[in-house]
Chain A
Amino acid sequence: MNSTILFRRGRVIDPRNGVDGVRDVLVRDGRVAEVSEAPLSPSGPDVQVVEAAGKLVLPGFIDLHVHLREPGEEGKETVLTGCMAAVAGGFTGVVAMPNTKPVNDSVLVTEYVKAKAREARLCHVYLAGAITKGLQGEEMSEMGALVAAGCVCITDDGRPVMNAGLMRRALQYAQLFDLPVMVHEEDLTLSGKGVMNEGRTSTRLGLTGIPPSAEVAMVARDLVLLEETKGRLHVAHVSCEGSVRLLREAKRQGLRVTAEAAPHHFTLDDEAVGAYDTHARMNPPLRTRRDVEALREALADGTIDAIATDHAPHGVLEKQVEFDKAWNGVVGLETALGLTLALVREGVLSLQRAVALLTDGPAKAFGLPGGHLAAGAPADIVVVEPNAEWTVDSARFFSRSRNTPFHGRRLTGRVAQTWVSGRLVFEDGHIKEHR
């Protein structure tokens, strides 16, 4: 496909390359050709012009943590609907977690999801393979085969690797492929039957609590193992102050550790459970206001590298039940931008830092292409109307699921267009094409 696209006079923010200002962005054949302060005027019949004055022109967002539910739970989400939700939210790349049915612990499942992603033809779908076979925490998966098939990280996400010896070996072995090991940090003997954060609210509601130590103790363990093995560790969905403190110190020591935080964790505290609202049930659970503040600081100071949604679709059947029987998780792809920009409006993050957390940070954490707009980079671009206000209406999600605690919330900042490899895939509320 020979095409030239000119994004004219938008405010381009490209944290990796230190760009923040009005620029023209020229795209040719699916790649960024030039970013210019001076107006560009390419000529030819195939030049498409995007008037971006007053808008933000950003590298496409990358979400390191999504559950696409296919294969196995297509009623909740498919690779196609997940990709639709992604591009609607400005994400041009997502990393799909392996806890599907069957688990992605084999080339077969990796290839299957890749094929579905090719069919969807909307955004880049990167695969995470399982650390252990069947996520059972007993035997290592064939990491070499998974990497060869295209997996970009390994994780047993949804479950911790409780066996410390096995975790140590995984960190060592993954170094063969310079593979990040992503960890869901939860000591199951501490979280027990807990269904929300342990604290005043759980006491009041009579719900079993999960103490922060369930997460912090495992972060501590894995940082000790990391220091010893010199592998690469990525801590998923950090939820509390104690974890942040440990990560900050580990980074100061120069360990190869990265971390992500989810919009629900840096926006809501455990009082969002309200009168047993199962949409506020997730794992790790919503913590206290103090933890929320700690996450915000960590996003600002670089302790946390990436904003990742932990997009976890569930149907009504899993949520319209007693709180202690409800499944964990919220959908996040279509609300992430607005919730991130709220931190900018509140003065927590600079706009540049917010963009970095959605682009450069995640790309670097997993060594993914994209996440920036230098010449030669893939033309994964999102055009944002920064001041457009809208109200979250879960009925209008492209995701097949509706489980969000943010239904009805006013957000500022809307995705106008999403371009993947120079192809317009989403514009003004509509998926452009997926065939």
Chain B
Amino acid sequence: MRHLLGIEGLRRADIEALLDRAEAHLQGGPDASHVLRGRVVANLFFEDSTRTRTSFEMAAHALGARVLNWTAAGSSVSKGETLLDTVRNIEATGPVVLVIRHRSSGAPHLVAKHVRCAVVNAGDGTHEHPSQALLDAFTLRRRWGRLDGRTVVIVGDILHSRVARSNLHCLTALGAKVVLCGPPTLLPPGLESLGAEVSTSLDAVLPRADAVMCLRVQTERQTENFFPSAREFSRLFGLNAARAERLKPEALVLHPGPMNRGVEIAPAVADGPRSVILEQVAHGVAVRRAILEEVCR
């Protein structure tokens, strides 16, 4: 693939090939430190990020690349430079891949139309976060072997979640059932037609879950009246200890981070035996190595 702009539209075989490659990296497979030797990977973060940026940086280093870490803060963006001018200027310095995080949905698509190098979407607005979905699927696949027939409940702010969209596409492509759960104000229309089951009751769907993925709830959504208070949200949609006890014995708990401990997830659950949250982070590097390799082929 030339770019990785989203999971939507990828075939199961494409996804599995990436995950297989990530598995090889994780197992310490053949030395890959020459794959991008002497080449430059540009991390363009128009929006703040810790784990995704760090993870792409580690992955690029592991492939022998040099990394240009660019952030919008302190750049000409603050002088009103357009997105396209910014990326064209950076492209002119010679990177082979642009890894882009942007708060506008579709920004990487716009860039991909106007540059020659590869573009990897590292999270665009409320649209997609493909590398996150791949590492989530990777984490589940390592635990389960296959995803076919499994049920994954994604709970929280579905409306504003790029993680939910990418995971919906990715997990369903791999044969899992995805249940999207949250208050009606945070469940946008048309989710069923994208292949999801939709629920407004976490308690009703928990017993069926093989994994639960909690999404970060932003407190400013409260002032926008998507829900009355963090407390009420937590009471209805938070994965607290009592709810976690009603899960299947083997069920896993995921979170893409950063977490609001005590809101969407209780500390005891986040750090408990079901949690694979830190595995997700660790797997991120291997998955991103596979992505960078793929788009640079």
Contact = CB atoms under 8 A, between A and B. Distances in A.
B216 interface: no
Nearest to A317: B82
A21 to B, nearest CB: 49
Contact of B105 (A198, A199, A207, A320): A207
A275 B106 contact: yes
Interface string A193-224: 00000111111111111000000000000000
B273 to A, nearest CB: 34
Most buried by A among B8, B104, B193: B104
B106 A204 contact: no
A324 interface: yes
Nearest to A320: B84
A200 B104 contact: no
B189 interface: yes
A251 interface: no
Given A276-B106, A320-B84, A206 B193 contact: no
B188 A203 contact: yes
Interface stretch (B125-133, B242-250, B283-291): B125-133
Contact of A207 (B82, B84, B106, B193): B106
B194 A205 contact: no
Contacts of A325: 104
Contacts of A200: 189-190, 193-194
A104 B121 CA distance: 44
A201 B188 CA distance: 10
Interface in A150-204: 198-204
Given A204-B165, A206-B105, A275-B109, 11 more contacts: A198-B188, A200-B194, A202-B188, A203-B190, A203-B194, A206-B128, A207-B105, A207-B126, A321-B82, A322-B106, A324-B106
Interface string B100-125: 00101111011000000000000011
* Residue among A201, A205, A323 having the largest count of chain B Cβ atoms under 10 Å: A205
Contacts, number: 69
B32 to A, nearest CB: 32
B191 interface: yes
B223 to A, nearest CB: 13
A200 B168 CA distance: 14
Interface string B69-83: 000000000000011
10 contacts: A201-B190, A202-B188, A206-B125, A207-B126, A320-B110, A321-B82, A321-B110, A322-B107, A322-B110, A324-B105
A350 B126 CA distance: 44
Contacts of B110: 276, 320-323
Interface in A308-346: 317, 320-325
Interface string B162-185: 100100000000000000000000
B104 A205 contact: no
A206 B194 CA distance: 13
A232 to B, nearest CB: 36
A206 B126 contact: yes
Contact of B102 (A203, A207, A317, A322): A322
A325 B107 CA distance: 10
B133 to A, nearest CB: 13
Contacts of A203: 188-191, 194
A206 B189 contact: no
Interface of A: 198-209, 275-276, 317, 320-325
Contacts of B106: 205-207, 275-276, 322-324
A198 B82 contact: no
A206 B190 contact: no
A369 to B, nearest CB: 45
A206 B127 contact: yes
Nearest to A325: B104
Most buried by B among A209, A276, A317: A276
A325 B77 CA distance: 14
Nearest to B192: A200
| Most chain B Cβ neighbours within 10 Å, of A204, A275, A320, A321 | A204
Nearest to B169: A204
A206 B109 contact: no
Contacts of B193: 200
B8 A204 contact: yes
Contact of B188 (A209, A275, A322, A324): A209
Contacts of A208: 126
Contacts of A276: 105-106, 109-110
A322 B46 CA distance: 12
B157 to A, nearest CB: 12
Nearest to B188: A203
Nearest to A324: B104
Contacts of B105: 205-207, 276, 323-324
Contacts of B189: 198-200, 203, 209
Contacts of A204: 8, 165, 190, 194
Contacts of B84: 320-321
Nearest to B84: A320
Interface string B1-37: 0000000100000000000000000000000000000
Contacts of B109: 275-276
A190 to B, nearest CB: 13
A242 to B, nearest CB: 15
A199 B107 contact: no
A135 B188 CA distance: 33
Nearest to B160: A206
B104 to A, nearest CB: 4
A293 B58 CA distance: 53
A297 to B, nearest CB: 23
A206 B128 CA distance: 8
Contacts of A323: 104-106, 110
B129 to A, nearest CB: 10
- With a 10 A CB-CB cut-off, give which of A202, A203, A206, A323 has the most chain B CB atoms: A206
A317 B102 CA distance: 19
A41 B84 CA distance: 63
What are the 9 closest A-B residue pairs judged by CB atoms, nearest first? A200-B190, A206-B127, A276-B106, A322-B104, A206-B126, A206-B105, A203-B188, A203-B190, A323-B106
B170 to A, nearest CB: 14
B281 to A, nearest CB: 24
Contacts of B165: 204, 206
A207 B190 CA distance: 13
A198 B125 CA distance: 16
A51 to B, nearest CB: 47
Contacts of A201: 190
Contacts of A206: 105-106, 124-128, 162, 165
A400 to B, nearest CB: 21
